[in-house]
Structure 1
C-alpha cells in the first residue's frame, strides 16, 4: 500500500509530520512525500530518505497567486500520482489541500483526505480589495476540492464550523477535529524557571501573529519592570502581512525586544523563558504553544480560534482578546508581580500536554479515521 503526503513547506515535514510518517512506515506502507524547495532543505530530505520515505520535488509557490503556475502544480501532482499509484493521499495547508485533492480525484486515488491546519492570510482581516478577491477565489477552490475528498480533518472546532457555515465543506463529506499536530512530549522535559521574568514569542513575523501587539505591550511593561526580558524567535516571511525589516530593527534598537532569529531547535529558548505568549488573531492549533506547554510553561494567548483550545483560562494560562495591547500587558505584569503563578500554571500545562496533545494519540486517531489499522 502506498501513501502520499503533500506539503508546501519542507520545514514542516519532520517537525510536524515526522511521527505520522514513522507510524505509516511501521504499518508497512510505502510512504512518499511531495514538496517544493528540496534544494534549500537538504538536511530534512536526507533525514526523510534515511527513514525510508521516497521524496518527490514539485514546483509549488506557497504564497504565490499565479493561476497558471498553480494549474501546473496540479498537473505535476496528477502525473506523479498516475506514476506511483497511491492508495491514500493526504494534503495539508492551502495549496496541497486544494490542488492535491483535485489531482488525486482526477488520478483515481481511492482514499483522499485533507488536513486544514489554519486559515491563513486570506481569511484574516477585512475582506476588501485584493484580499477580498483572494478570499473569494480560495473559498471557491476549497468548495470544489473538498467535495472530492473522503474526509476532512480540522485542528479546531471553530475552523470546522466556519467551513460548514460558508458551505466550503459539503454536508455529504464527513469531518473530524483533532488536537492539532500534537507534540512528542517525550522530547521535552520540564525545565526550572529563569531567575528574572522572561517572555517569549515564536512565530513567523506576520501581523496576524500578534507580533506588533507583543512589541507594544512589551514596551509598556518594560517601563514598569525594566528587568523583564521580551524575546522573539522567527523570521520575515514572504507574505503580504509580513513585518518589515525596518520595523523589526526599531524594536531591537530601542531595547523593546531581543530578537533571536530563526532557530532549528526552539527548546533552549523555551527553557529560558518563564511565560510563553502567542497573541495570534487565529490559528489551527499552534505548535509552539504545545511545545511550551510540554516544557512546563504557562501560556498567554488570545481568545481566538485555535488558540483558546490550548488554554484553560486561569488554570494553565491567561486568555486575552485579539489585538488587546492593554490586556496583554496586564497579563504579563500579573506574572511578574505574582511569580508563583508561572510555576503553578506551568505544571498544569505539562499535564494537559500529556493528556490531550501527545502526538501519538493524535496520529492514532487520524489513522483510525482514515481506515488505517
Structure 2
C-alpha cells in the first residue's frame, strides 16, 4: 500500500514518526511524507531512509492568515490527487485539520488523525473567536477521519464534552512511544544536575523552571540547572535575551538546541518538565528510558508519565515554589531519587515501548 504522512514540520518526522515508518516499510508499504519545508532543504535526509518527500506549499504551522490556509488546503487536495495514496496519516494541528479536509475532498476514505496535546488555544477557559473557529475546524475534520488517535484521557474528555468527536472513532495510545534500543538505561553519574529539554516557550514551564532554580541555588549553589532546546516562533515563545540574561546570572545553563538528547540525559541526575499541557511528553519518555527520576506537572499528558512518589513527583501547574521543593528533596534524598529512576525505566518498558505503541497504530490502520 501507499501511505501518505502529512506533517506541519518535516524534521519532526525523524523525532516522532521514524520508528512507525520503519515498521510500515518492513511490511512492504511505500511511504510518502509531505510537509511545508522546501524540498531542497530536506530531500536528502528523507532519501537516506527511502522516503519520498513532497512540499506542502502555502502551509505555515503557526500562521493565522486564513487566505494562506485556504491556499494550502487547495494545494493539499491537488497533492493528494497526484500521489494517490491508499491511506493517509496526519499529525500536528495544521495538517490534522487541512490534511484531513483535503483528503476527504480528494475522496480518500482511510484517514487517520494522530492528536498531540490540544494546546493553549483549545484549553483556554476564556472562549475566543480563534478558539471557536479551531473547535469547528476540528469537528469537521474529525467527521472525515476513520480513526483518531488520542494520547490521554484529559484530551479525550474535553473533545467529547465539547461534542467535537465520536468516541467510537477513538483509539487511545501511550504517546509516540520511545525506542528502548536507542535510549539505553544508564547509571546516574552525579547527584546535582537537573535537566529540562523543550522548545523555549512559556507553555513548557520554562519561566517556572528558572524561578525554581533561583530558590534551589540559594540553598545549594553548586546545583546545575540545565536547559536544552531551540527558540521557537510560537506565540508564547520566550525571547533569547531573557534566557541569556538568566544564564549570565548563573541561574541556568542554556546548552542550546541538539539533534541528539542522549548525552544530556545520561549526564543528568533528574529530569524536569513543568509544562502546562502535553499530549504525552516525548522528552519525559526518553528520560524515563535512560532511567531518570521525573518532576513534571499534574497536567494533561504529563500526569500519564508519573506515579506521584514512585518514579518522581507531580507538581501543580505554574507553582515554581513546590517545583523547587521537589528539586531540593531529590538533592537531599539521592538514594531514593535513584530508586525513582529505576521505577521510571520499568514503567517506560511496560507502558511506553515504541514497539507496543506502533503495533497498536498499525493494527488500527489495518496494515
Normalization by structure 2: what TM-score?
A: 0.97
Name which of structure 1's ranges 310-319 and 240-249 shifts more when overlaid on structure 2.
240-249
The superposition leaves residues 57-101 of structure 1 with CA deviations (integer Å, 9 ceiling, x where unpaired) of 112100001111111111111111111211101110111110011
Instruction: Give the Cα separation in 2 of the matches to 1:58 and 1:245.
Output: 29
Match of 1:147 in 2: 143
Q: CA deviation at 1:120?
A: 2.2
Question: After the TM superposition, which residues 227-242 of structure 1 pair with which residues of structure 2 at under 5 Å, given as runs?
Answer: 227-242=222-237
Kindly report the root-mean-square deviation, in angstroms, between the aligned alpha carbons of the 2 structures. 1.4
Question: After the TM superposition, which residues 35-74 of structure 1 pair with which residues of structure 2 at under 5 Å, given as runs?
Answer: 35-38=35-38, 41-42=41-42, 45-59=43-57, 60-74=59-73
Instruction: Give the Cα separation in 1 of the matches to 2:249 and 2:13.
Output: 37
| Number of residue equivalences | 366
Match of 2:166 in 1: 170
Secondary structure, in 3 states, of the residue corresponding to 1:261?
coil
Instruction: Give the Cα separation in 2 of the matches to 1:40 and 1:117.
Output: 28
Secondary structure, in 3 states, of the residue corresponding to 1:248?
helix
Find 1:297's aligned residue among 292, 299, 302.
292
Secondary structure, in 3 states, of the residue corresponding to 2:144?
coil
Q: Is the 8 Å Cα contact of residues 201 and 232 (structure 2) preserved in structure 1?
A: yes
Say whether 1:186 aligns with 2:181: yes
Instruction: Give the Cα separation in 1 of the matches to 2:117 and 2:100.
Output: 17
Instruction: Give the Cα separation in 2 of the matches to 1:67 and 1:326.
Output: 41
Match of 2:101 in 1: 102
Say whether 1:120 aligns with 2:119: yes
Secondary structure, in 3 states, of the residue corresponding to 1:147?
helix
Secondary structure, in 3 states, of the residue corresponding to 2:159?
helix
Change (3 A) 1:253 1:124: farther
Q: Is the 8 Å Cα contact of residues 297 and 349 (structure 1) preserved in structure 2?
A: yes
Instruction: Give the Cα separation in 1 of the matches to 2:262 and 2:99.
Output: 33
Q: Is the 8 Å Cα contact of residues 143 and 170 (structure 1) preserved in structure 2?
A: no
Instruction: Give the Cα separation in 1 of the matches to 2:178 and 2:303.
Output: 17
Q: Is the 8 Å Cα contact of residues 117 and 285 (structure 1) preserved in structure 2?
A: yes
Instruction: Give the Cα separation in 1 of the matches to 2:297 and 2:45.
Output: 35
Q: Is the 8 Å Cα contact of residues 265 and 287 (structure 2) preserved in structure 1?
A: yes
Change (3 A) 1:73 1:275: same
Match of 2:79 in 1: 80
- Which 5+ residue runs of structure 1 have no aligned equivalent? none
The superposition leaves residues 18-62 of structure 1 with CA deviations (integer Å, 9 ceiling, x where unpaired) of 0111111111112111011145853xx423222221110112100
The superposition leaves residues 88-138 of structure 1 with CA deviations (integer Å, 9 ceiling, x where unpaired) of 01110111110011011011112011110111241244536xxx2221111
- Which 5+ residue runs of structure 2 have no aligned equivalent? none
Instruction: Give the Cα separation in 1 of the matches to 2:174 and 2:364.
Output: 14
Say whether 1:14 aligns with 2:10: no
Segments of 4+ in structure 1 off by > 2 A?
A: 38-42, 45-48, 123-128
Instruction: Give the Cα separation in 1 of the matches to 2:240 and 2:125.
Output: 24
